Structure 1
């Protein structure tokens, strides 16, 4: 490209009509931007495109500038459209092009989706970087595409004419004169007159150019919708809406969600007991209104969108590869980062151009000013009205209003639930604590990043003369030796390049910290003002202007060019006192630009993010997932079913290694399984005995009686069982989920019980009955009381202070099922229950034993609750995975838990990776757990004999059918996790499954491994925990049990032979 003379080029540019009045200051500012003379070092990531010799006034292009100018989008903004094409060779004649699709539409589409373009249905065959390949799919049901484009808006002059026309229609004068042919049809006239009359009936007046209407109506949740009917067009309404949104936020402290259209403005105001919102919120002084708009437009979505387009035209956002589009979301992200920097410099050319474009090209501020003067002067009236339902004119406005916000909530149900759970990031940081960030970084990664930032890594060294200049611009002043070390050329070539740069005064020599270094000319004022560097004479005046924060710029650049930095290092680099350095670092830390790691280690926030991401990636790559059986074995150890004989002591620091003992052991099991709903019949028959070797029912009774433990019902299972959870009283808020039952659906007796217990205390069933009788003056049927109490139990509303009612329920259901009879003397509106009808029910029945009370637990906030759930899951399962979250039925699902886990990962509490095969891609675990998995995986290659253990199939320590799928088996029996079903596991491998009812059995392993007697002894040990259990085993792997090798071994283990097979009990 040829060089240009700046003054000559300025004259040539002004010969074009749009730039006839272009100020020289704006012209020079644009050239400053293109030549890399930015107002702050924060712009260092944006490379210059031109070289501007200030002495000669010559502009020359840097390498790559011509290609950038040719391949960039130019003045036509990239709206993020994908071309829709036929496959190569499929076109019959003409072009392959079918049409275009919006980027957001493409992101919501998948291969094989059927879409409609024109009058034809198309099947999506392939989605590439910037194209959608389709094939015809005639006659198929298809989705309609959408385009979220921009509208130019109605001109104010046309809007006023439409408003005048509405007045004519409302007055009836239009139809009394000559009617145009296109309106003369009888049905057309009737429809128009009907619409006008409906609007008049709804609002009292038809809005038009001389009379605006402010309509108020309630929305679906009781807030106020404020609808201003105005015909003046979007170009007038949008800036007006900005000011209205600011006023509503100032008055009510809420986001008004204001939306403007050609036909008016819609806003939402929260319900209030004060004065109803009226027309006053829409009226402003004209001069004040324009000032508000100018100040508010910078934070609007319009400004951000137009800034992206202006920055692209200014070549500040080049694509990576010519001929390939950059996804719109990446453009938005990069533009938002540039905007965040540029907003601090209002004279930045792209900021000025964006403001001009918004305020002149998009908004019609003169028309808005005229409208406001006419409103304040009374020439245009504005009246307000309250309606019960939106008026006919408001209907179309509200349709557009809903469409504006529809995609903000277009998420699956789980994600919508997650959005309701607000995680307080500051509180979360306090709860998680702060692990030393330096411990999170991989030393090898630190070395690699340092070499990359310092341009010492292979492929990162500079090339050519402009590459040397970029080194000085990006890394700061350096010696000739340092420059040569970072350049691909020879020493002679480097010397020649530097000589040329010195000759054209793009760089200059400077004495810094006793060393002679070379610096780029843009640093002259910074070095002089920050370090007192003596500058060469005859430097161009433009480089001598004072810089706002010279030392800050030098420190930030140095920190961004190094991985880790100490205060002493900075002090030596710039010959400054340590106190000055530490004070400046603290200021940067308060601004959120740098971080202080352990002791005196400092790092730029940008560099830390890179180091942290690389370190996490390195840690994940270093871990290979272990087999599912290894995780199954870990869970048995973790939940105290098997002793961790070869385990890491640190993993079980809070418990004794091996199986638990005594009341303390029961307490530990309840702590680990707190909140897990399991069948009541399993807690004392399988769950607790499998973990506490000397378990007896007195242990659980003792904990309940002392109040250390409470239980809560979750769901009824048949007539004699139900899901029950145990909680530590002190930490019940972390595991207990409050009942969400609809109180309106509770019976009168259930409501009476809740009212009695709400007075406080715990009461025996007889006392509850007496207190209800005292309130209503009638006796209560005892069987009805029992039924109502248990209904409230399964709603999670009440509990008893002993386990006896649950023992009685699971042993026999006959005493629990009784009939009720409503008294004929019941008063109107107050049901009264008669005397007991069955002698089998008494206050001494075990089903009513103990003192009953409300389950009242002070709830935690969302952040504390989610953190507690995460910590409980880590304790229980070792790994938080999608399957574990589904099993636990966590509010918000896995997306909500994943958000919290990432925060825990950032704080160093846990790591993310793929630790277990088959457990999904996103897994979170503590480092000690990961280490233990590795230990167990190593042991699996060395040891062949493991202790078999039998568990309930429902046991949380059994991963199969819950966290991991059941191993494949050719038999017809499909294993399920049901109460009564048992599994036998050895070394994490599933050996045996006994179905509910005991009739059928599956075995997985080879004969020689399975035929160990201890496998069946483990099974019979679990069966003996239920003394009343009786069943006959008839089939093993779809074969009669007598025809299998297991027949003899099962007999030896305790089964007895019968004609049908093997009997137990």
Structure 2
């Protein structure tokens, strides 16, 4: 809830209504202004506020010039502290790097002891499937474990007593550290077990940690990395804690404890194999076919108990009579050639011989417990435990769930588990794909960066010119203003151009072939048009006022708009497109208004000839199609024919570049996802966001009625003026005819949908030109929900007014 609140405040800041949003939370004017003074300096440094969908990773130098990393996280100390441990352990993998950390409810701060530079993308590297194992292995290192262990030891009366009363605190700390070092490696000791349980279950939220890391992997939680010239204001509390952490060590970790933890950490980041994979890996694939093969098996695999192999007893009797097999006391058959080895292991208790027997037993007879080994060889209770522990210490065996495995079989099963998990694909209903596309629009970033990301994702997609500033950009940039687009275009990163179909698209600057001549006209040009084109080819990008000279003082305004409509020229401002869209209204406007419009156009950006685009290979077109659709199939492909795409995708699948599966129900069977996007895509499909999202029906990110077939009783027209509310990708309500008609598909969630509509309308996410939305037709039971959401009754209609200044 707190993270969602901050996200709402960040969106309000982008829309210029932060003070209104604070007052809506119940603050009076004075306190709202005070809160604004806290938030604005933070946003000035980091660009955005941390929230439930965004973590801020802020790199900066402290007063001594040492690099530090502040991760602003709103998930509380129970999640932040284990995240800090995971990130610190990940950073420690850099050679020569020693990392410290502090954490609280608002974030974590990592700091190196030395001049090391903390790496970027620490959090995206963390793996949710191994997080608990890493935390359990590193648990003896943080102060929390030492403190909890000291309390538990005191309650167990293992800290010693003092006649005059309780021990001094420094004595308690020293004795607790010494006791912990003495118990290092004894995981089954009651004190260690209870301390571990209390830390992992009572003090930390491991489910929350896994959820956060899974969200980062799937893309539902964004990690924004930024290099700040100075620390942000909200990092000050943790920076002050850093000084205390570096100067004082209230919970010392002795070398024995540290060594045990480091040994455990070396193996903790590995995925545990599935039990089924362990069983399959250790399963026998071939049994002896005659007595000769049975003798070879005993030579290679060692002793055999009755019932372990389904072989005739006559073969054993034959080998015994031949003097090649012997039955010895523990009740096992062995090859005669190995009699000396078993005599040393069973009678003389030779440790090397015992190690060899146990290793071979684990390798060829599968997983064993210590009790099973003692019983098999008639060893005293606990003898096998010592042998197996020594094998584990030498990485010859692995202990998991009270069972010991051969190290080679365990590693093979782990690799098979990873391979099988990658191959597991579960088909999801079509609404999950709609949720995936809609969720990609939710980006936490400064408005300029949001706008650049929006144009980058829509790069090369031609739509009606009027849709850009009335439909597409407002849905992606809350509080969108036309001057934001003009400023971005003036930077030269993007440019617009008309297509022959009278549509308009944006292109990256790198998409143009700047070495080629400008596009030749497809139709004959008038003399004035040819003169303007020649001047632009000669002079390069020029303001409109300069071009008036080539026309003997005649304004080139209409000529440039005509050339732009033909796709021959473009400007580094969107102002000419807006005037082109309003050309009919300007013709009927008063003279003064027309003069002002032409005067404004004189300084509204520079004009230049449109260069041809670089030719794209089929592979590049396919990559762009993946960028837009994420999952490619016959229904979602764009840019090239499906048959041609399929030829390339089949090769990519063979080389591991893409993954094929039946991801979304209702589509054709051949569906592909890039291997680099596979994990995030699967997580997003399996765990869709439940956030209510309103989208224009014509938006490319809204797939219903396009690549997805409308669901029964949830259909709508994909026309301008229609908005659809999606929850987990499922349509739950629709506004049609510019909001005049409301249709509800799920009355239970209609109040949530209307509240989301009110927020979006206030922030101009849709219907940006309208200052009021009048609902004239609505379901009979929707009146109460409309009134509760903020609509007011006006005769027979319900009207929502946009606040002044928003």
Q: Normalized against structure 2, the TM-score is what? A: 0.43
TM-score w.r.t. structure 1 length?
A: 0.33
Instruction: Please tell me whether Structure 1 or Structure 2 has the larger radius of gyration of its CA atoms.
Output: 1
- Where relative contact order (Cα < 8 A, 6+ residues apart) is larger, the structure is 2
